[in-house]
Structure formats: C-alpha cells, structure tokens
Amino acid sequence: MSSAPLGLAIVGFGGMGHEHQRKLEGMKELVVKGTFDVKADRQSLALSLGLKAYPTFQAVLADPGVAVVLIATPNDSHKHLAVAALTAGKHVICEKPVALNTAELDEIVAASKKADRLFMVHQNRRWDEDYLTVKKILADGTLGKFYHLESRVLGSRGIPGDWRKVERFGGGMMLDWGVHLLDRLVFLIPGRITQIFCKLNYPTGQEVDEGFHLFLTFEGGQTALVEVGTCHYQPLPLWLVLGTRGTALIKDWSLEGGIVAVGGREGDAKPIVAGAGLTKTMAPRTEAGEVRSPLPVVKSDVRDFYRNFVRAAQGLEAPLVSNDEVRRIMRLMETAFESHRNGQALPFE
Ligand code: NAD
C-alpha cells in the first residue's frame, strides 16, 4: 500500500473549513491541495495560504490529484455535494450534522456503496477530553452503580452567524450541538434508548430552536439529560455523573472539577437550617464521610480522526465513525423534534 499522502480539497472554506486546514497542516497522511468556496474572500484566504482556489465544485471533482473531498458547507448542502463527490470517485469527509434527515443520509450511503468510496462524518467531539474522561470514570466504576448523567453546553450570545438561524439551511441547536452531545452519549450508556422527551426552546423568537432539554431513558434504567442553550447567562457543569457511591462533575473545557465519593466514617446526619425550615435529608456529608479525588483526565489527539479515515479508505481499518451510528443519532434527533411537536414522551428503540 502506497504511503504517499492523499490529496484533499476543502469545499466550504469558512470557520470550520479553515479549522480543518489548520489541523491537517503537517500531517503525512493527507495534504490539502486546495479549496472551493462560493465567497470570494474565502477563495482569497485560500490563495494567501498558498492553496489552490478551485473556480468551481466541478473543477474540484475533475482534479485527479484530489482523492478526498472534505465538505464543510452549511448543512442543507451536504447531501448533494457528498453524492456528487462520491459519484465522481472521491472519498468524502463530511461535517456534522451529516444531512438534514435520515432520507438524505440514506441517499448518501447508497452513493457511497455504489461508488465503493468511503463516506465518514466528522464527529470530532468523540475526541473531546471532557467526554473521554467521563467515559473513563464510568469504565473505572468509581461512582458505584451509575444511574444518571447530565451533558450540556451553554452560551449567552444567541445563535451565531447567518445560516445557523435559518431552518432551510439546517440551522438550530439540535442539529448543531445536539448531534455532538447525543453522538457521544450513546457510547457512555449501553443498550437501547427506550424513551425520550424533548422540549426545544425559542427564548428570543428565532425560527429555529435556540436550545433544548432532552431527557432519555435507557433499557438498563439509566437516564440522561442533554441540554443546549444559547440564552443562558450563568455557567452550569458540562457534565454531572451520578452513581450510588459518588458523583463526578466537570465544570468546563479546562477540565476543572472532580469526584466526590463515599468515605469511611459518616455518622448519622444532623439537621441543618435550610431556608425557612430544617432538613436532615439534605444535610451535607462530613469531611470524614467523603473522599474527594481529581478527575482522571484522558488525553487525546483529534487528528486520529483523519489518520483513521485514510486507513479506512485504504481498507486497512474500520472507520471509527460508522454511518450506522450516524443514522441512529439522526433518527434520535428526528424523534426529539417529534416529541417537541407532540408535547409527549415517545418510545425510541
Ligand atoms: P461558515 O458559515 O463559517 O462556513 C461555511 C462556508 O461554506 C462559507 O464560507 C460559505 O461561503 C461556504 N459555502 C456555502 N455554500 C457553499 C457551496 N455550495 N459550495 C462551496 N462553499 C459554500 O460555517 P461553519 O461554521 O464553518 O460550518 C460549516 C459546517 O461545519 C456546518 O455543517 C457545521 O455544522 C460544521 N461545523 C462543525 C464543527 C465541528 O466541531 N465538527 C464546528 C463548526 C462547524
């Protein structure tokens, strides 16, 4: 198998397209040959970085030096660009959310099979260290029997940019951030998702969801709350993980937080004054009755995504992001939208 790098073209050289170019710099497996963007200033940026600025998408497809097309355009254009690139014999890396719905994804997968080219979605947040740390905590079993977790991201500046606020471009926070949080969640809690309930929110009256609360129940009885907000002015933890003998908390992306677990010598709780009353149930534990430990931080390198993509395209490894996994999450989001519309909890699997 040749070890020459595969030539790659980035279609859509906006915020994320440029980020891919930065991440790919210096990699021996893939080399960015050029970009195509419908905006002149993004084409100029590509030229200023020493890249080729293809005049059209067709010119990208016609270049035999391009083996891989990376799609980083707004969400509504992923399907037709992916199908065209696969049909032209290119392997494709596609930004998340893969498309607007499962029907579009099915068309892409059919094109991928027909052309015998790899199609892989950039679910890069599987490499987030906060997520990998939660995964390790659950695998270590330090919290006792795990029964509930919360996974959230919150901002206060509303939905950024232009197309993300527009429904027909595939805007909204479920497709933008929900897809990441749900994609990871299902690796933390095994088994079928039996029921979900979703409430989207529109606090400033946008046409797309500005955030949501999504409650999931798994077949083992565990539950999860996934929350995304863009009109939220106080921080809440990225992660809260509850087990029968401990709680883990990750505050933010700097990985501040820790684990509090049951210690050896907790006596009977004494009532404390709480507001206008007394409580024994909610009295805090004593120092002797708990053990505080730091998070077992897991390190990662998101460039392993691209390395795996190349090896998968060469038939040497299975893709780390499979289209079946991506389809399950797309169906989950579709069911979440339906739950919101109906105002009901819905069975899922
Ligand atoms: P952006 O608006 O910054 O960039 C999109 C670019 O695509 C723009 O420069 C626009 O001119 C160009 N474009 C639009 N239609 C095109 C077409 N038909 N052909 C060529 N170029 C076209 O948006 P963004 O934030 O970079 O998001 C792009 C994609 O990346 C979205 O799917 C988004 O969900 C995804 N994204 C992923 C992550 C991640 O962490 N995986 C982060 C941000 C964005």
pLDDT in tens, 143-164: 999 999 999 999 999 999 999 9
Q: What is the pLDDT of residues 25-46, one digit of tens each?
A: 999 999 999 999 999 999 999 9
Out of 18, 19, 24, 37, mutate this one to test ligand 1's pocket (max ligand atoms within 8 Å of CB): namely: 37
Share of the chain above pLDDT 90, in %: 95
DSSP state of 163: G
Judge if the beta carbon of residue 95 lies within 6 A of ligand 1. Answer: yes
Judge if the beta carbon of residue 20 lies within 6 A of ligand 1. Answer: no
Q: What is the atom index within ligand 1 of the atom nearest the CA of 39?
A: 11
Predicted confidence at residue 269, as pLDDT, reads 85
Q: Is the pLDDT of residue 3 over 80?
A: no
Judge if the beta carbon of residue 130 lies within 6 A of ligand 1. Answer: no
Predicted confidence at residue 238, as pLDDT, reads 98
Predicted confidence at residue 267, as pLDDT, reads 80
- Taking the CA of residue 203 as centre, how many other CA atoms within 13 Å lie in the half-sphere pointing to its CB? 15
Predicted confidence at residue 265, as pLDDT, reads 82
Q: What is the pLDDT of residues 219-240, one digit of tens each?
A: 999 999 999 999 999 999 999 9
In angstroms and rounded to an integer, the radius of gyration of the C-alpha atoms of the chain is: 23
Judge if the beta carbon of residue 229 lies within 6 A of ligand 1. Answer: no
Ranges of H-type helices in 95-212: 102-115, 129-140, 173, 179-188
Judge if the beta carbon of residue 18 lies within 6 A of ligand 1. Answer: no
Q: Is the pLDDT of residue 51 over 70?
A: yes
Out of 56, 95, 177, mutate this one to test ligand 1's pocket (max ligand atoms within 8 Å of CB): namely: 95
CA–centroid distance, 239 to ligand 1, in Å, is 28
Q: What is the pLDDT of residues 285-337, one digit of tens each?
A: 988 899 999 999 999 999 999 999 999 999 999 999 999 999 999 999 999 99
Q: How confident is the model at residue 347 (pLDDT cuts 50, 70, 90)?
A: very high
Q: What is the atom index within ligand 1 of the atom nearest the CA of 125?
A: 40
Q: What is the pLDDT of residues 250-274, one digit of tens each?
A: 999 999 999 999 988 888 888 999 9
CA–centroid distance, 121 to ligand 1, in Å, is 14
Q: How many CB atoms lie within 10 A of CB 261?
A: 16
Average pLDDT, the chain: 97
CA–centroid distance, 71 to ligand 1, in Å, is 8
Q: How far apart are CA 349 and CA 346, in angstroms?
A: 10
Q: Is the pLDDT of residue 77 over 60?
A: yes
Give the torsion sign (CA, 194, 207, 231, 158): positive
Judge if the beta carbon of residue 42 lies within 6 A of ligand 1. Answer: yes
CA distances from 90 to 71, 73, 288 (A): 12, 17, 62
Judge if the beta carbon of residue 72 lies within 6 A of ligand 1. Answer: yes
